[in-house]
Structure 1
Amino acid sequence: MIDAIAFKYRTGTPWMDLPEHFGSWKGPHNRLRKWAADGTWETVFTALLAQADADGDLDWVVAVDSTIVRAHQHAAGAPQKGPRPASRSIMLSDGPAAA
């Protein structure tokens, strides 16, 4: 079951394209959903981290550069902090009303 779930996320294949030796794709898919909902994955991850920390196997290295992290395109035009300019007053025209 775990091998099927790991294969799916390692390869990025759709659930329905799991190799036949894993059996029906519905079993691993349903088990993943149930375990995610009831907190099983968090419990397993916490236990694995605690074990690795106790063994001295944790070595956290975080590397971030601009080749892998990009700002969203709308981030460039964000308004600057500070006082907001006064809003413009709306002047009604004497022309015919828009219908």
Structure 2
Amino acid sequence: MTGRPRVKDRKIIKGMAYKIRTGISWRDLSPRYGPWKTVYTSFRRYALAGVFARALQQIQAQADAAGDIEWLLQIDSTVVRAHPHSAATGRKGGTTDRTNRTIAPSADPEEA
């Protein structure tokens, strides 16, 4: 056999987890996880093949069956933002058929 020996899968996966956890660039990945390009290539292949999505689904299903997940979600305006180029008028120079809608505040549940 010629060439370099194959990097162990455990090192590759640990490198992916480290990159995701820290947010560093791929090129700054420590050599202890193997060559950064190898880790990136494996990450891309796994992502395109849906490996991460399937793993997340299985982990969530197991945790939900055990009662470890509380499915309460909250979205904050500081998290969901409009694209900088979005505009209320629609297309450039055009108009939209939308009318301004006023949303009335809901009744205070303590007053009811």
- Please state which band the TM-score falls in when normalised by the shorter chain: 0.5 to 0.7
Task: Find out whether 1:51 has 2:68 as its counterpart.
Answer: no
Percent same amino acid among aligned pairs?
39
Gaps of 5+ in 1: 83-99
TM-score by length of 1: 0.66
TM-superposition CA deviations, 1:5-25 (whole Å, max 9, x none): 121122221111101221211
Correspondence for 2:88: 76
Q: AA paired with 2:65?
A: A
Cα distance in structure 2, aligned partners of 1:42 and 1:65: 24
Which of 23, 35, 39 is the equivalent residue of 1:24?
35
Equivalenced residue count is 82
Compare relative contact order (CA 8 Å, sep 6+) and give the higher one, 1 or 2: 1
Cα distance in structure 1, aligned partners of 2:75 and 2:54: 28
Gaps of 5+ in 2: 1-11, 91-95, 100-112
How far has the Cα of 1:46 moved from its partner? 1.6
Please identify which structure carries the higher helix content: 1
Cα distance in structure 2, aligned partners of 1:29 and 1:17: 12
Correspondence for 1:85: none
